[in-house]
Structure 1
Amino acid sequence: MLNKLTKQLNGEDWSWNNLNTLGWAIGSISGSMAEEQETGQYPKFLGAHWKFLKIVVNKLFEFMHQSHPGVQDMACDTFLKIGQRCKRKFVIIQVGEHEPFVSELLTEPLWDSSTVSQTYPDNVMVVRDYTITLLSTAFPNMSISAVTLFVNSLFESRNDPATFKEHIRDFLVQSKGFSSQDNGNLYVEETTAQRERKRQRMLTIPGLIAPNEIQD
């Protein structure tokens, strides 16, 4: 293999086909390149070639609708990696486009009309219904009406993080996902805030807190 590389460098046996074949042969050798370096090559290429990136992502979405679970998992995992490595490419308007690619992806129907008889006005309703079904299966002790009320409250408070977290906490307690002995972590923010308010009140009373206990 080193001999063939030498011939490529000195031009003795150079051709695009030979170089491509040799490159694939070297790349197939286990350990020839560190895993992080190897997997990092593809996002760099995709980031530099917008049209190719768009084609790859659209194909991944097609694979996500395949019936074979292995293909679906592979497509989702690959899309996640691309999204993490090339995230900026999704949110800026590329040359020749009229909107960011992420806007196009979010408005693309998530359901397959050939397999789903029900029609949805938008993807929000798809995610809502799927979440209700998922939680109803995961928490069989909860009624469908209780799960539906919970999911609706999440969508209504999606722009209010504090209320959103409060709904999740209340649902977990209601579903008995936590016992009364181990649900302390659900209230850690409130407990911390309460302690801080108590400390501030004590600081207003001279001599109530020793100087060495006062933190800046």
Structure 2
Amino acid sequence: QHIFSVVTDTSHTAGLTMHATILAYMFSMVEVGKISVPLGPGATSAEDNVLYIQEFVANLLRQAFPHLTDGQIKITVQGLFNLDQDINAFKEHLRDFLVQIREYTGEDDSDLFLEEREQALRQAQEEKRRVQMAVP
């Protein structure tokens, strides 16, 4: 719950990769049955825990973002579980969700791509340096 609060807070977008990694790990732990204690009332198995977490996250998103449709929430939650083994795909899915909620509020979403821009600039700088070093 708190990780979602941080991820959706516009002042914390620089850590999107880290937050995506944490969330993906948490979802995968539930999905593969590493959490053996029942998480919700009436849960008796790992499958029950997955269903409970899916419903919990859907309700959390529904309360925090009432403008989203049930379909948008369902797709978001499914993606969080389906993509938890691929951090890049998980991060893209999470970013798509953040863009959706920002489009509604009219907020600028360019900061959601800040990490990738910084990485591209570092790579370009390294390439430029390599080329300069290769020229006699």
Matches of 1:194 and 1:132 in 2, distance apart? 34
Cα deviation digits, residues 169-193 of structure 1 (max 9, x gap):
211111116712xx34321220111
* Corresponding residue number in structure 1 for 2:6: none
- Residues 1-216 of structure 1 mapped to structure 2, 5 A cutoff: 106-113=35-42, 121-176=47-102, 179-180=107-108, 183-206=109-132
1:198–1:121 distance in 2 versus 1, CA, 3 Å: closer
* Corresponding residue number in structure 1 for 2:18: none
* Corresponding residue number in structure 2 for 1:93: none
Structure 2 segments unaligned to the other structure (5+ residues): 1-32
Aligned length: 98
Q: What's the RMSD between the two structures over aligned residues?
A: 3.0
TM-score normalised by length of structure 2: 0.59
Structure with the larger helix share: 2
Structure 1 segments unaligned to the other structure (5+ residues): 1-103, 208-216
Deviation at 1:141, TM superposition (A): 1.1
Cα deviation digits, residues 66-101 of structure 1 (max 9, x gap):
xxxxxxxxxxxxxxxxxxxxxxxxxxxxxxxxxxxx
1:109–1:205 distance in 2 versus 1, CA, 3 Å: closer
User: Is 1:107–1:122's contact at 8 Å kept on the other side of the alignment?
Assistant: no
TM-score normalised by length of structure 1: 0.39
Aligned-partner residue type, residue 111 of structure 1: G
Q: Per the alignment, in what secondary structure is the counterpart of residue 206 of structure 1?
A: helix
Matches of 2:93 and 2:106 in 1, distance apart? 15
Q: Which moved more, 1:143-152 or 1:161-170?
A: 161-170
Structure with the greater alpha carbon radius of gyration: 1
User: Is 1:172–1:178's contact at 8 Å kept on the other side of the alignment?
Assistant: no
Kindly, what percent of the aligned residue pairs are identical?
Answer: 28
1:134–1:202 distance in 2 versus 1, CA, 3 Å: same
Matches of 1:136 and 1:173 in 2, distance apart? 16
Q: Per the alignment, in what secondary structure is the counterpart of residue 106 of structure 1?
A: coil
Q: Structure 1 runs of 4+ off > 4 angstroms?
A: none
